Amino acid sequence: MTTEQRAALPDTIHTNGATPNPWWSNAVVYQIYPRSFQDTNGDGYGDIPGITSRLDYLADLGVDVIWLSPVYKSPQDDNGYDISDYQDIDPMFGTLDDMDELLEEAHSRGIKVVMDLVVNHTSDEHAWFQASRDKNDPHADWYWWRPAKEGHEPGTPGAEPNQWGSYFGGSAWEYDPKRGEYYLHQFSKKQPDLNWENPEVRAAVYKMMNWWLDRGIDGFRMDVITLISKHVDANGELPGVGANTESSGPVGEDGYSSPNPFCADGPRQDEFLAEMHREVFDGREGTITVGEAPGITPERNQHITDPANRELDMLFLFDHVEPGGGQSKWTAAPWKLTHLKHCLSGHQAAVKETGWTSLFFNNHDQPRVVSRWGDDSTDELRARSAKAIALLLHMHRGTPYVYEGEELGMTNAYFDSLDQYQDLESINMYHQLTEAGVMTPDEMMASLKAISRDNARTPMQWDATKYAGFTAPYAPTAPWLPVNENRDVVNAKKEKRDPDSVYNFYKKLIALRHENPVVAAGDWRMLDADDPQVYAFVRTLREDGVGGGIDGSGERRIVVVVNMSSESAKIPAEAADMLGLGLAGTTLGGVSADRILISTYPEEETAADVLFGKLAPWEAFAYEL
């Protein structure tokens, strides 16, 4: 099923507070990491013609939108998130003509196309930045240039304007001998931050966005868009820089302070996003905007996605995929299901009346969730846990995002040596943390196996051939990242033929969102919040003229129960009560297999398990009351 076939939700059903309901209310988005999706020319990198060649696969899966990670011209320092020309395609991926063909072919199948937009920063090879290195050029104030700290020789240790560290390791400031000053880069030194305080910068960005929309794309996913507004004093100065005596934050064991408290969700964030909406999206129909939102709370998500405020349609929040308790990404404590419950409860509650939320566990920056929270120790447990985790996510209220290979249950790569990694963040942090004595080399390698971004970036597994069908087995160049060794077990060709596969389970989940308004827009309420093993909740929908609940209330309700472990589990009290289970485990109203909308086990087997108040390992189901 595609956008052309998917029924729109009627306006009698409440979604994000807009009227009419937005087209994406019951849509599903599929993220493509182009360099890892499909290589058609044998150079080891995926390309745009490869994406076009796989559109029928995506249409069969049922997704409504594809989101492409960056394909713009780039030096590829951070795999394309360092853009040197916003209005050209990198030769690695193809040409503008290839992009136009992809748009035409996707639209002919009812699939919309969203492009990644990176405008917090550019590449240092972008023409804007090169021009800004001259203090007399009109672009001189398009980036955050600052002189060395007073009393220090420029370019020497300690001369940086403040003590901020980069998220990719080292200082967040880089000295440029040509200009004689430092520039701010929250990420790689080849990714200088744009100065959004300058209206000329914003105008140039909006002009570029309009150019792409006029060309036919359907929207943008906006990378770290909530970092564009920095905290500055009345003179426009950053904390700890020059005459601004505000502290730049406490220094950590790596010798740096974090820019996040001063660069995330800054004081002009709403102003900038509302201006962007006016200048780019007003008057355009059928678009979708989603922002990557580090530093944003669920409450701020509600404000930014409230259609009345005319900012963005939805955001990606990250507290649910980050370690709890202030732990470091690289030294995190063991994951707890109760942490996930707490985070997702907050996301759901914040947008109950207005606004919207994005649903995701995987993306190009996260390890494979089946390896992270599931169990990939055997193929059976891998498939069971992949389905259970998917059911948990997709039965929430919001817009689900499927990351390439997630629908197959692809796992982490588990590389054994540092030279197998390509991810800039992983390599930099390995050296920084081991050289500082924060972690041993063995500890850091174990951390990379668990959390490195490269786990999500190994080539898509289409079949069991040498290079998993990502490129031809006789291609002159091997894939840019090694193919996962489990390609003979986990691949699209095999799973499409297997009715019990993870792939076919995802097709059912996507169809449910398209067809069942309770799944798409029903209210959400957590059950048994403190249970450490079972994740359960109820979805409820009352619609004028719909109703039909078996209790005569006129409500439609779905109970979702998920055993998030490889051990058997007891159905906890609140979920048991919703299902009509008696104290001895017997049912009061009966549990019928034909009311199970979807289950990770055969429906009859699940109905029997529920009858006795238990769940098998990774058993999960949605039951219509």
Half-sphere exposure of 48 (CA within 13 A, CB side): 25
Token pair in block for residue 199: 């209206």
Token pair recorded at residue 595: 């009311």
Is residue 292 annotated as a catalytic residue, yes or no? Answer: yes
Q: How far apart are the first and last CA of the chain?
A: 26
Of 371, 319, 369, 356, nearest to 341 by C-alpha is 319
Q: How far is it, in rounded angstroms, from Cα 502 to Cα 504?
A: 6
Burial environment of residue 191 by CB neighbours within 10 A (0 to 12, 13 to 18, 19 or more) = buried
Bridge pairing between strands 556-563 and 534-541: antiparallel
Q: Which of 77, 292, 407, 555 is catalytic?
A: 292
Residue with tokens 């996301």: 347
Rounded Cα distance, 235 and 243, in Å: 9
**What value does the CA radius of gyration of the chain take, rounded to a whole number of Å?**
25
Q: How many CA atoms lie within 13 A of 258 on its CB side?
A: 10
Closest by CA to 116, choosing from 372, 316, 258, 342, is 316
- The active-site residue out of 47, 82, 223, 407 is 223
Burial annotation 51-69 (CB, 10 A radius, 16+ → b, else e): bbebbebbbebbbbbbbbb
Could you give the 3-state DSSP secondary structure of residue 242? coil
Residue whose structure tokens are 């109905």:
607
Specify whether 574 is catalytic: no
502-515 and 379-394 helices cross at what angle (nearest 10)? 10
CA 268 distance to own-chain centroid: 24
Cβ atoms < 10 Å from Cβ of 428 = 16
Tokens matching residue 537: 């909740």
**Residue 559 pairs with which residues in a beta bridge?**
538, 623
1 closest CA partner among 34, 37, 36, 28: 28
Residue 60 sits at the vertex; the CA angle it makes with 55 and 66, to the nearest 5 degrees, is 45
CA 201 to chain centre: 27
Quickly list DSSP for 10-37: PTTS-SSS-SSPPGGGG--EEEE-GGGT
Question: What six digits make up the tokens of 291?
Answer: 């922002």
Give me the helices (H) in 171-281, please.
Answer: 199-215, 260-263, 269-276
Residue 597's φ and ψ, nearest 5 degrees, are -75, -35
Element (H, E) at 66: strand 65-68
Q: Alpha-carbon distance 575 to 559, whole Å?
A: 8
Of 91, 80, 85, nearest in space to 424 by CA? 80
Distance separating alpha carbons of residues 67 and 468, to the nearest angstrom: 22
Report d(CA 512, CA 520) in Å as an integer.
8
The CA distance from 519 to 310, in Å, is 26
Nearest to 425 by CA among 30, 74, 81, 35: 81
Q: Which residues are catalytic?
A: 223, 292
